[in-house]
C-alpha cells in the first residue's frame, strides 16, 4: 500500500502479511529520506518484543537496507492500544520521531481507537511536544505537562497532513499550518492545543498568507518564508547575513545557559547536560537563516539576537528591567541549544551502559548532580556576565 500527499509525492509505504498484520512500514521524513519500521524484530529489550527502526535514502524493494537506528516497544499494528516507549530518541534524524508518531496516530484513528496512554520511561517535555503534533491530550487540565510527567494524560489520535514540496520545503497541517521545515530549519506555531510553546522559529498568520521567521524577546527578528494557507510556497524572504567576525562570549554565560537547560529537563539528564556542555565554546557571530549554529566543539549565537538585546537594553529604564532582559535572553539561548545538549546527554547516558567502569565522554566517571542552588547561582552569574559583555561593546 502506497500513500501520497495531495501533490502526488510518496509519503508512506505499508506492506502487510497474508494474515493482514504489518510486515513493514516506511515513512518519508522532512529531509526526504525514509524511516523503516520492522515489526517484532527482536525481543532483546527491557520490555521484550520490539519493533526496529531503520534509516535509508529510499524504501527498499525487498528486505531491510540502510542503517539500523534503535528499537521501540512492539505494538499490535492491527489494534493499536498504547503509545510505545522508544529506546534511544537521540539516534533518530530530525523529524523522525514525530513521523513515526503520526503513522501510529493515523493507523489508530483508522481503527477507531480511543485515547492512548504512554507508560514508558522519561515522559519528558520533548516527548510531550512531539505528541502534540499528532494527538490531542485528555483531560483538559491547567498544567498538562505536569500531568503528563505524572502519568495523568491520555492521547486521542489527531494525525496531521504531511506535505512535501520543492526546494526542501515540508509542511504539516491540521486545521491550519502548524509546522514547517525548510532547508533544515523547523518553524512552529507558538500555540498548540492551548499550550504556549517557546518558538524562536515561528509561524504566524498575516494578511498576505502564513509567515515563517525568526523571533526573539517576543519581537520579529527576520522573516524567512511566505506560504499560502494550503502550504504552497509563495516567496522566499530570508537574506544571507552580512559577513562579520565572530566574538567569544564569556564562559560564565555558557555555564548559565547549560544550567538553564539542565534545570528545565528531566532530572536524570541534568548532570550529563552540564557535562557535555563543557566540550563547547560559545560565541556571537553571523548565522544564515537561523539564530544558532552548532558545530564541532562550538556554539554560535546569531548576532541578530545580540542586536535585539542591545536595542531592548537601551530602552530599559531600570537595572531590574535590564536584569530581566538578560535572563530572558539567557532563556532564549537555552531554548536554541537545548535539544542538541539533551541529545548529547542521552548519548552519554547510553555510553555509560557500554563501559566498565562507567565513563563519561571525557573519560571520567559519571558526573555528579550539583543541585538547584548551585545552578541558580550559575544563572545569576551568567546574566551579570552577559550584561557586562553588552556594556563593553
C-alpha cell at 299: 556554539
Of all residues in the chain, the percent with pLDDT exceeding 70 is 95
Across the chain, what does the average pLDDT equal?
89
Tell me phi and psi for residue 156, to 5 degrees.
-90, 130
The predicted structure's pLDDT at residue 362: 43
Number of domains forming the structure of the chain? 3
Res 317 pLDDT > 50: yes
Query: Does 335 map to a domain?
Result: yes
| Residues 101 and 193 placed together within one structural domain of the fold | no
Residue 72 lies in a domain: yes
Same domain as 260, residue 211: no
Asked if residue 37 belongs to a domain, the reply is yes
How many CB atoms are located within 10 Å of the residue 295 CB? 9
The sign of the torsion formed by the CA atoms of 296, 297, 303, 306 equals positive
Closest listed residue to residue 232, CA positions, set 134, 166, 157: 166
Q: Are residues 328 and 213 in the same domain?
A: no
Q: How far is CA 133 from CA 60, 127, 178, in A?
A: 28, 10, 8
In angstroms, the CA 373 to CA 170 distance is 43
Query: 384 and 272, same structural domain?
Result: yes
Check whether 257 has a pLDDT greater than 90. yes
Q: Are residues 72 and 170 in the same domain?
A: no
Residue 338 and residue 251 share a domain? yes
CA–CA separation, 120 and 31 (whole Å): 28
Classify residue 325: in a domain, yes or no. Answer: yes
Tell me the per-residue pLDDT of 159-207, one tens digit each, with 9 for 90 and over.
Answer: 999 999 877 899 999 989 999 999 889 999 999 888 888 889 999 999 9
In a shared domain, residues 67 and 190: no
Element holding 213 (H helix, E strand) = strand 209-216
Contacts of 161 (CB under 8 A, 6+ apart): 5, 6, 172, 173, 174
According to the model, what pLDDT value does residue 346 have? Answer: 79
Residue 180: partners with Cβ closer than 8 Å, 6 or more residues away = 169, 170, 171, 172, 186, 187, 203, 212, 225, 227
**Domain for residue 242, yes or no?**
no
In this structure, of 81-85, 195-199, 248-252, the range with the lowest mean pLDDT score is 195-199
Residue identified by cell 493515523 is: 106
Does residue 31 fall inside a structural domain?
yes
Residues 76 and 205 grouped into a single domain: no
156 part of a folded domain: no
Burial class of residue 8 (count of CB atoms within 10 Å of its CB; 0-12, 13-18, 19+): exposed
Q: How confident is the model at residue 349 (pLDDT cuts 50, 70, 90)?
A: confident
Confidence of residue 90 (pLDDT cuts 50, 70, 90): confident
Domain boundary among 187, 204, 236: 236
Please indicate, yes or no, whether residues 278 and 222 belong to a single structural domain of this protein.
no
Using the predicted structure, report yes or no on whether residue 354 has a pLDDT greater than 60.
Answer: no
Q: How far apart are CA 284 and CA 269, in angstroms?
A: 27
Owning domain of residue 36? 2-120+130-136
Q: What is the pTM of this model?
A: 0.84
Q: Helix count (H) and strand count (E) of the chain?
A: 8, 22
Q: Is residue 142 part of a domain?
A: no
The residues, any chain, with a CB within 8 Å of residue 55's CB and separated by 6 or more, are 33, 34, 35, 36, 66, 67, 69, 93, 96
73 band by pLDDT with thresholds 50, 70 and 90: very high
Instruction: Give pLDDT tens digits for 270-316.
Output: 888 999 999 999 999 999 889 999 988 999 999 989 999 999 999 98
Between 68-72, 115-119, 282-286, 387-391, the lowest mean confidence (pLDDT) is in 387-391
Question: Helix-strand-coil percent breakdown of the chain, rounded to 5?
Answer: 30, 30, 40
Amino acid at each position: 500500500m502506497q500513500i501520497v500527499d495531495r501533490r502526488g509525492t510518496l509519503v508512506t509505504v505499508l506492506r502487510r502479511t497474508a494474515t493482514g498484520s504489518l510486515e513493514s512500514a516506511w515513512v518519508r521524513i522532512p529531509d526526504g529520506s525514509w524511516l523503516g519500521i520492522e515489526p517484532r524484530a527482536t525481543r532483546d529489550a527491557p520490555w521484550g518484543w520490539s519493533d526496529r527502526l531503520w534509516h535509508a535514502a529510499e524504501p527498499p524493494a525487498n528486505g531491510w537496507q540502510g542503517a539500523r537506528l534503535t528499537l521501540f516497544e512492539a505494538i499490535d499494528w492491527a489494534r493499536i492500544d498504547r503509545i510505545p516507549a522508544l529506546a534511544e530518541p537521540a539516534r533518530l534524524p530530525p523529524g523522525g520521531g514525530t513521523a513515526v508518531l503520526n503513522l501510529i496516530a493515523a493507523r489508530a484513528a483508522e481503527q477507531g481507537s480511543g485515547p492512548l496512554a504512554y507508560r514508558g520511561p522519561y515522559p519528558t517535555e520533548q516527548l510531550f511536544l512531539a505528541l502534540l503534533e499528532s494527538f490531542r491530550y485528555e483531560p483538559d487540565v491547567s498544567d498538562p505537562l505536569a500531568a503528563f510527567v505524572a502519568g495523568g494524560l491520555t492521547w486521542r489520535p489527531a494525525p496531521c497532513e504531511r506535505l512535501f514540496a520543492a526546494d526542501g520545503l515540508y509542511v504539516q497541517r491540521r486545521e491550519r499550518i502548524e509546522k514547517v521545515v525548510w532547508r533544515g530549519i523547523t518553524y512552529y506555531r507558538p500555540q498548540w492545543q492551548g499550550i504556549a510553546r517557546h518558538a524562536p522559529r515561528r509561524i504566524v498568520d498575516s494578511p498576505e498568507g502564513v509567515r515563517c521567521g525568526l523571533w526573539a524577546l517576543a519581537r520579529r527578528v527576520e522573516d524567512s518564508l511566505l506560504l499560502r494557507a494550503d502550504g504552497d510556497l509563495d516567496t522566499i524572504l530570508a537574506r544571507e547575513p552580512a559577513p562579520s567576525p565572530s566574538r567569544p562570549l564569556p564562559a560564565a554565560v555558557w555555564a548559565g545557559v547549560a544550567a538553564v537547560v539542565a534545570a528545565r529537563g528531566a532530572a536524570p539528564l541534568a548532570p550529563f547536560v552540564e557535562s557535555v556542555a563543557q566540550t563547547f565554546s560559545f560565541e556571537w557571530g553571523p548565522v544564515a537563516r537561523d539564530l544558532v549554529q552548532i558545530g564541532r566543539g562550538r556554539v554560535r549565537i546569531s548576532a541578530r539576537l545580540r542586536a535585539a538585546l542591545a536595542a531592548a537594553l537601551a530602552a530599559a529604564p531600570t537595572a531590574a528591567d535590564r536584569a530581566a532582559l538578560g535572563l530572558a535572553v539567557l532563556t532564549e539561548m537555552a531554548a536554541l541549544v537545548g535539544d542538541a545538549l539533551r541529545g548529547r546527554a542521552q548519548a552519554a547516558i547510553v555510553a555509560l551502559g557500554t563501559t566498565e567502569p562507567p565513563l563519561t565522554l571525557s573519560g571520567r566517571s559519571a558526573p555528579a548532580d550539583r543541585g538547584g542552588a548551585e545552578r541558580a547561582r550559575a544563572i545569576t552569574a551568567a546574566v551579570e556576565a552577559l550584561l557586562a559583555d553588552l556594556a563593553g561593546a
